[in-house]
Amino acid sequence: MPHEFNTLDSVLDHPQMRGALRKFLASEYSSENLQFLEAVEAFKAACQDPNVSEQTLRLRATQISTLFVQPGSPSQVNLSSATLGVVQTELGNLATKNRAQLSTTFDAGSMDVSDMMMRDTFTRFKKSELSGNTVQKLDDIENLEAQMEKLKTSKSEQAKAIFQGGAGRAKRNLQSQIDEVRTSIDQSILTQPYVLPQLPVPAQVLPAPQVQQQQQQQPPLVVAQPPPVVGVQPPPPLVVAPPPPPQPDPLQVGDMSMAELAGIQQGRARGVDPSVKQPLQVEDMSMAELAGMQQGRSRAMNPNVKPGSNSLPPNDLGNDSPGTQTHTSVRDSLGKKPEAPNTVKPGQRTHV
């Protein structure tokens, strides 16, 4: 007798036809309707299982609502506004429902989705090639199974099976054909039903004695030491090079007179430490001594100044002899040969 699938329930009740419908809906990108019906079906079965707690059932109901019912959900089904209001009211009373009442939470929503699929999707599915091929293969399987049944009840075939083994071979051939047709059906449909994601496992709060017992049973934490590095020498110690020795003074003493040397010594001493007060009488010093003193002070304050340089700082000899003007005469005397000492008569003073 040919198979007839005229209603959505008849298709859902047959595993192969449900798989064909699942494959058809996936091709139309509308799998959420059948997924919602399968999720509600599994939820109602869980409500009949005494091993599933009511708290778990409430979590499952919230999960189905989040995935399929609430506006903006990832797989939202198309419910009428009236049906959506009924389902949301049911979801709002989850905390006060018992097991039997929880099982009817989504009845209004599943009926709305089934009616919509019956009017739209199911009609296209019945006209599809996938549906026709699946029904034809189911009819072939039914005919092959009927032939096998005749072999079991025929006395003549039973006698052949006893004396010749012919019925046994015929039965194996029929069974092989049935297996091939079933495999062909399974390859053309989606046999795996929709399964809700696993709920997160709540953290188990243990009493304090059990926590201490578990901590005592745990082995101590062993920190692995890194293996020694073989063949790698430690870096050499940092050696700080001593500062370079000071540059030698380019002053050529042999080219200077004793008067210039004395002036340089006084000038350098006063340039390094201005607080040093040398007994200085400008009137009693020759031009060579003044030039040497100026040059010595300049080199004490700036060692880069070479002898005979014209870039000398202003002379501050006026600190010891106010009003004495010696800048021009000292600058002019630098680089010149020292003059021969003059013969000064007793009582005569030398003016610079």
CA separation (Å) from 335 to 122, 255, 259, 269? Answer: 120, 11, 14, 22
Give pLDDT, residue 118: 93
Whether the CB-CB separation of 91 and 79 falls below 8 Å is answered with: no
Q: Is residue 301 part of a domain?
A: yes
pLDDT digits (tens, 9 = 90+) for 148-165: 888 776 655 555 555 455
Higher-scoring residue by pLDDT: 261, 91: 91
User: Is 101 found in the same domain as 13?
Assistant: yes
Distance of alpha carbon 199 from alpha carbon 56, whole angstroms:
9
Q: Is residue 52 part of a domain?
A: yes
Q: What is the total count of domains within the chain? A: 3
Listed residue (338, 350, 251) closest to 288, CA to CA: 338
pLDDT digits (tens, 9 = 90+) for 301-324: 665 555 554 444 444 444 444 444
Q: Is residue 68 part of a domain?
A: yes
Give pLDDT, residue 57: 95
Give pLDDT, residue 328: 44
Higher-scoring residue by pLDDT: 293, 155: 293
Please compute the mean of the pLDDT values over residues 103-115 and round it to a whole number: 96
User: Is 121 found in the same domain as 157?
Assistant: no
Q: What is the dihedral of CA 335, 336, 338, 342, to 10 degrees?
A: -140
Q: Is residue 175 part of a domain?
A: yes
pTM listed for this prediction: 0.53
Domain region containing 172: 129-188
User: Is 145 found in the same domain as 111?
Assistant: no
Which of 30-39, 113-122, 249-258 shows the lowest per-residue confidence on average (mean pLDDT)? 249-258
Q: Is residue 311 part of a domain?
A: yes
The helix or strand, by DSSP H or E, that contains position 288, with its residue range, turns out to be helix 287-301
User: Is 141 found in the same domain as 91?
Assistant: no
Give pLDDT, residue 151: 73
Which of 35-39, 61-65, 205-209 shows the lowest per-residue confidence on average (mean pLDDT)? 205-209
User: Is 171 found in the same domain as 121?
Assistant: no
Whether the CB-CB separation of 266 and 296 falls below 8 Å is answered with: yes
Distance of alpha carbon 139 from alpha carbon 132, whole angstroms:
11
User: Is 115 found in the same domain as 19?
Assistant: yes
Is a pLDDT exceeding 70 seen at residue 108? yes
User: Is 107 found in the same domain as 36?
Assistant: yes
